[in-house]
Amino acid sequence: MFTGITDRRQIIAISILLGVIFFFGGVKYYEMRLDKVEVITEFTVEQEKEIEAEKTLEETPALFAVHVVGSVEKPGVYLLEENKRVNDAVKLAVPTDKADLTQLNLAVLLEDGKQIYVPAQGENTSPSEALVRLGQQSSGLVNINTAAVGELDTLPGIGPALAGRIIDYRKKNGAFSSIEDITKVSGIGPSLLENIRNMVTVR
């Protein structure tokens, strides 16, 4: 009699033990599946962010830096999209009432590193002087053979009038052979040359 009761108790105990094992095993399996789903979800979100970032980079247009000087109210360096034109840069710099825009080809596409010189009315400039690459070299020196009025005007003692004379001299006589040749320009003497000697170059 006692043997039968003991057997039943053992069977019940084993059943309970197996039930507990299956229960906790099921819980553990569910947690593992849930973790896997969360990892996949997080990975997918990160992938989406990377794809969006790549799209943004692809859609962002390249920017060109152009230097607008001359008869403008806000001379300076402007960053514009690569498909913009000279007209867009000049508008940002706000031409003065005396600006002569007829000497500029406003329809030309911008190029990175260009300088746009806006001449004043009555001022004669060639296309190469109205729209030229920066005369200032990477060394920081102003090339007196290519610099426009706006760049020459940055030199101490060289105002718009003297800058205009330098350009007129270049037109009539060609490029300067040496820095000292700039004294051949009316109004520029030895003392002024010494003031700008370390700031200019000829190329």
Q: What is the mean pLDDT of each run of 10 residues along the chain (203 residues)?
A: 57 67 61 55 63 61 80 86 88 91 83 81 64 47 84 86 90 91 94 90 84
Token couple for 30: 């569910």
pLDDT of residue 18: 67
pLDDT of residue 91: 92
pLDDT of residue 199: 86
pLDDT of residue 67: 85
pLDDT of residue 134: 39
CA dist., res. 68 & res. 106, Å (int):
13
- For 178-189, b/e burial (b = at least 16 CB within 10 A) is ebebbeebeebe
pLDDT of residue 165: 92
- 78 — phi, psi (to 5°)? -120, 145
pLDDT of residue 44: 62
Residue with tokens 């607008």: 68
pLDDT of residue 2: 46
Which strand ranges, in their side-by-side order, compose the sheet holding 76-81? Answer: 76-81, 63-70, 114-118, 131-133
pLDDT of residue 128: 52
CA dist., res. 160 & res. 122, Å (int):
14
pLDDT of residue 133: 41
Of 157, 128, 139, 154, which is closest to residue 201 (Cα–Cα)?
A: 139
Q: CA distances (Å), 45 to each of 37, 41, 49, 149, in order?
A: 12, 6, 6, 56
